[in-house]
Structure 1
Amino acid sequence: MKKYFAVFNINLVNSLAYPAELVTRSLMILLFMWIFYQLWRVTFAASGSDVLNGLTLRDTMWYLLLAETLELGRPRLARVISQQVKDGSIAYLLNKPYDFLLYQLSSGLGESLPRMGMLFLLGGALTWVMAGPPPDLVNWPVALVALVGAWLLHFCFNALIGLAAFVSEEVAPYEWIYQKFTFVLGGMLIPLDFYPAWLQTVSKSLPFAYMMYGPARLFVQPDPALFAQIILGQFVWLSVLGGLLLLAYSRGLRRLAINGG
């Protein structure tokens, strides 16, 4: 595992090497959170209630902050892997003494941690000013556990999309579709609590809810039953997607050998 930690550490250091760029690339979350606040402030005011479907305006804003942090902070591994497949550099990586998928996981984690930290710091400061203080610190470890599972689910999806380059010239359409499913069925733009009951049921039966809604909801209102449901769902979908990823990877390697590298 030392070699994967070294890969993680190298990418972490590289991400921190240019702090000004890191801050600049993270500023977009300020605009997003300001827009969200204006929309939801009007929504709550129009409803005439301080609580909608169990969430206050403060809860909703901190929910959206964590969801945006996860979405904006995750590495775009689909593009990286697909480019490596298309330009043939994957053959070079496969000759190295490490597993290709674990290399991508370590590299992506080292890249995303500083970005997610900066996004949460900047967005959190603005959210605190607009909507109030963050959830109690005792909530954070619970959300962090779910956040790790969510990140791994994102990794599996992105790696699968990237490996699709073995059979498809361009993977951008698949990435676009995946992102839109995450936005809507994952509860990134609107918490699933505000959906009709039937759509909540559909959304929670798919992996996207465990990638966005789960950790964000636990962050603002942790609940033992919800935590168990989220962790179980993440475990099930990680098993399914992980199996599909290994299958796609092995078939991709055979296709690479047939094409002569």
Structure 2
Amino acid sequence: MHSREASVLSPEGCVRNPSAAAVAGKYWAIFRTQLVNSLAYPIDLLGRSLLIVLFMWIFMNLWRVTYGATGARSIAGLTLADTMWYLMMAEAVMLSKRDLSETITEQVKDGSVAYLLNKPFNFILYHFAAGLGDSVLAFGGNLIIGTAVVWLMVGPPPGLTGWIFAGAAVGLSWLLDFCFSALIGLSAFVVEETNAFRWIYQKFLLLLGGVLIPLDFFPAWLQTVSLNLPFAWIIYGPARLFVDPSLARLGQVFLQQGIWLTVVGGIVWVMYRRAAARLVINGG
């Protein structure tokens, strides 16, 4: 049983002391394969990206009226153009992230997780690499179409620094979002049905993550609460950094993302180890 457990908990155990390059190459191959698979369906990719056009049209009409009613050029330090570019980036991130919690839940429920745990890769990292292959393409499509639409509405986007800073933050936001998806999926080992957790998480992202409205527009107390939760650093952080690419804000976003990645990622790892051990004890 001990040899079986070592194989399950550390799938790379079948290769003695693999180099870091070999391990990275393995997940790079998974990412690349998923990327190629996604490229095989360009119409589906385009259809998903076009959804951002509808959202930007709705937001433009809503915020144009709001700014007009206040008679102010800016609200909470954001002009109408800033708000629209913020919302474009927020929607691009939201629409591109892949919710893998349902996939993991189904694999736990139908037992296929036992088969995957014996593969020569880490179950969690496998799903992250595959999901990243989908997200990168979807994000690119959302950015291209979203940028074209918002540029026509309010003028040119922020400078190059905003794109670079936001791009770096988006990578970490995907990783943080995946940790939550994995946490929800792995909870199926305990509760089996995870739809309620998935629904709650999505609503937290929409309301407290800054998808529907910049957190800057919240009352001070609610803004403080939101900024002390991880959801803001999945959506709000990268989007706000896009329109205000200061080094101070970059440091704040990276610090918060790093803290929450450590906390949530640590919980995911503990749950994964216990779940794998449970499979071994129960005979798979």
Give the TM-score normalised by the residue count of structure 2: 0.89
Q: Give the aligned partner of residue 118 of structure 2.
A: 95
User: Percent of aligned pairs with the same residue?
Assistant: 56
Aligned counterparts of 1:83 and 1:28: Cα–Cα separation in 2: 27
Residue type at the aligned position of 2:43:
A
Q: Is residue 2:39 matched to residue 1:16?
A: yes
- Structure 1 distance, partners of 2:118, 2:43, is 35
Structure 1 runs, 4 residues or longer, greater than 6 Å off: none
Tell me whether 1:164 sits opposite 2:163 in the alignment. Answer: no
In the aligned structure 2, how far is the partner of 1:170 from the partner of 1:26? 30
Q: Could you tell me how far 1:184 is from its partner in structure 2?
A: 1.1
Aligned-partner Cα distance in 1 for 2:150–2:108: 41
What residue is the counterpart of 1:109 in the other structure?
Answer: 132
Output aligned runs, 1:165-180, within 5 Å: 165-180=188-203
- Confirm or deny: 8 A CA contact 1:166 1:255 kept in the other structure: no
Q: Which residue of 2 is the match for residue 31 of structure 1? A: 54
**For residues 237 and 99 of structure 2, what CA distance do their matches in structure 1 show?**
21
Q: Please, what is the CA RMSD of the aligned residues?
A: 1.1
Q: Which residue of 1 aligns with 2:277?
A: 254
- 8 Å CA contact 2:85–2:243 kept in 1: the answer is yes
Segment drifting more, 135-144 vs 175-184: 135-144
List alignment gaps of at least 5 residues for structure 2: 1-23
Whether the 8 Å CA contact 1:80–1:162 is kept in 2: the answer is yes
Partner of residue 72 from structure 2, selected from 33, 49, 54:
49
User: 1:256, CA displacement in angstroms?
Assistant: 2.3
**Deviation for aligned residue 1:156:** 0.5
1:128 is matched with 151
* Residue ranges of structure 1 left out of the alignment (5+ in a row): none
Counterpart residue number, 1:69: 92
Maintained 8 Å contact 2:99/2:178: no
Q: How does 1:165-204 map to 2 (within 5 A)?
A: 165-204=188-227
Tell me the distance in 1 between the aligned counterparts of 2:76 and 2:107: 45
The residue type equivalent to 1:201 in the other structure is T
2:37 alignment partner AA: N
How far off its partner does 1:65 sit?
Answer: 0.9
Matched, 1:86 2:92: no
